Amino acid sequence: MDQLELLKSKWQQQEQTHPTLSYQDIYKMLLKKSSSIVKWIFVISIAEILFWVVLGFLTPESNKELIANIGLKKSLTIISIFHYTIIAAFLALFYMNYRKISITDTAKDLMANILKTRKTVKYFVIYNVVGAILASLYVNMFLFTKKTELYSIITENNSNYAAIPPESFTSLFFITQFVVGVVLIGLLILIYRVIYGILLKRLKHNYDELKRIEM
């Protein structure tokens, strides 16, 4: 039994051996728990961005050369700038939600801020998943239109692929891209569902508790 459940139990029992706990005692506990959860959402989202940035720097040089030689560098740079601009906006919203919850004065306002935070996180997850799918589709459609150049560049840098006929290479390459893409998107959804899902469930629990004490 956590602190909140213990407080609720004492509050409901109303026994003479225990001091009567007020509405404010329960509210302050819910406020503290909600503020902590939103803070973690903000911290995790920053950690996620740092992870992707570091991963970008660790991209093999051969992949960077392929992107440059095939003509994808400019468009991917534009997509990256757009993406990180949107992410920066989400981070600002997460921080503002944290600040609002931290200084909330009433249960009604806290409930409204919890709902707003849950919506922001859901939009953040949807944006990242849909964005990843669209980016993957764009890259593969672009590569498909450049399949001849793609075959030449890859076989030039890796003689092992030279023995594969162009038609077989194209089929193998894009089937592999599709399978890897599906697996990565699936992992991304799973990670979001586990990490943000747990935090959102805790916020929902706090929201439900606030509704009870407001009745």
CB neighbour burial string for 122-159, b if at least 16 within 10 angstroms, e if fewer: eebbeebeeebeeebeebeeebeeeeeebbebbbeeee
Reported as a pLDDT band with limits 50, 70 and 90, residue 10 is: low
Q: What is the mean pLDDT of residues 74-84?
A: 92
CB neighbour burial string for 161-179, b if at least 16 within 10 angstroms, e if fewer: eeebeeeebbeebeeeeee
Which among 188, 185, 84 is positioned nearest to 134, based on CA atoms?
Answer: 185
Structure tokens at 121: 């996180």
Mean pLDDT of the chain, nearest integer:
84
Reported as a pLDDT band with limits 50, 70 and 90, residue 13 is: low
Query: How confident is the model at residue 105, as a pLDDT?
Result: 74
Structure tokens at 201: 């469930």
Q: What is the mean pLDDT of residues 143-165?
A: 80
Q: In this predicted model, what pLDDT tens digit does every residue of 180-208 receive, in sequence order?
A: 999 999 999 999 999 999 999 999 998 88
Query: How confident is the model at residue 120, as a pLDDT?
Result: 93
Residue 12 has pLDDT above 70, yes or no: no
Query: How confident is the model at residue 3, as a pLDDT?
Result: 62
Q: What percent of the chain has pLDDT over 70?
A: 86
Lowest mean pLDDT among 32-46, 131-145, 163-177: 163-177
- Sign for the CA dihedral angle at 129, 117, 102, 40 comes to negative
Rounded Cα–Cα distance for residues 188 and 196 (Å): 12
Reported as a pLDDT band with limits 50, 70 and 90, residue 14 is: very low
- Sign for the CA dihedral angle at 23, 29, 34, 39 comes to positive
CB neighbour burial string for 102-118, b if at least 16 within 10 angstroms, e if fewer: eebeebeebbebbeebb
Q: In this predicted model, what pLDDT tens digit does every residue of 98-140 receive, in sequence order?
A: 988 888 778 888 888 899 999 999 999 999 999 999 999 999 9
SS3 content of the chain, % helix, strand, coil (to 5): 90, 0, 10
Q: Sort residue 59 into left (φ over 0), alpha (ψ -120 to 50) or beta.
A: beta
Query: How confident is the model at residue 16, as a pLDDT?
Result: 46
Q: pTM for this one? A: 0.81
Rounded Cα–Cα distance for residues 13 and 20 (Å): 9
Return all residues near 135 (Cβ < 8 A) that are at least 6 apart. 79, 83
Query: How confident is the model at residue 61, as a pLDDT?
Result: 81
Residue 11 has pLDDT above 60, yes or no: no
